[in-house]
Amino acid sequence: MSNEEALKAAKQRYKETVQLPQTDFPMKAGLSEKEPALQKKWDDDNLYGQIRTARKGAEPWVLHDGPPYANGDAHTGTGMNKILKDMVVKFRTMQGFDVPYVPGWDCHGLPIEHNVLKELGGKKPDDMTNVKLREMCLDYANGFVDKQRGQFKSTGTLARWEKPYLTTNPVYESNVLRVFRDLFTRGYITRAKRPVHWSWAAQ
């Protein structure tokens, strides 16, 4: 018997000594097929709605979701943010509290406008109105709201995904103006010159 054959025979003997449990679980998870099917089942069964119904009338516990910018794909930071919040919401729900989770998105701001201007070649065309630019920014933001929503749902986060709060919602915008008016009438808003560290290129 050659050394190679002896080594092979020894390996075979050792293999027979390993006593692994026998299960019905497959060796590979196959998540690319299973996760979409599981997500569809949760959506079809309205799992979030069932949880909300089961906790109706319980002591409320609210987690305010500080919104991510709707200006790109979800990244590690935004993903971790949503997953940690989902863990807290599920934990408090299991403790018996009524815990709604209403996700939101910040659809305003320079990052969105900057990305739209990049798509236009770096600056707004002379014949484009500011209204048209704002409409393009809104379309851009709404596109990433839909994209990020799908990405967050794929993490198993349960929330009121079909009706999030968006900072472009007219009700939301009017409430911001109402709060600003209240701050102004109380004397908390002043006008003065201050250094502002914005990019000159972003105007």
Domain boundaries, the chain: 34-189
Q: Which long-range contacts (CB under 8 A, 24 or more apart) does 116-122 make?
A: 116/140
Tell me: pLDDT of 7 over 90.
no
**Contact in structure between 64 and 133 (CB atoms under 8 Å):** no
Q: What is the mean pLDDT of residues 32-58?
A: 94
| pTM of the full structure | 0.78
Query: What are the tens digits of pLDDT across the range 145-185?
Result: 999 999 999 999 999 999 999 999 999 999 999 999 999 99
Contact 125, 89 (CB under 8 A): no
pLDDT above 90: percentage of residues in the chain: 69
Whether residue 110 contacts residue 202, with contact meaning beta carbons closer than 8 Å, is answered with yes
To which CATH superfamily is domain 34-189 assigned?
Answer: HUPs (3.40.50.620)
In this prediction, residue 25 has a pLDDT band, given cuts at 50, 70 and 90, of: confident
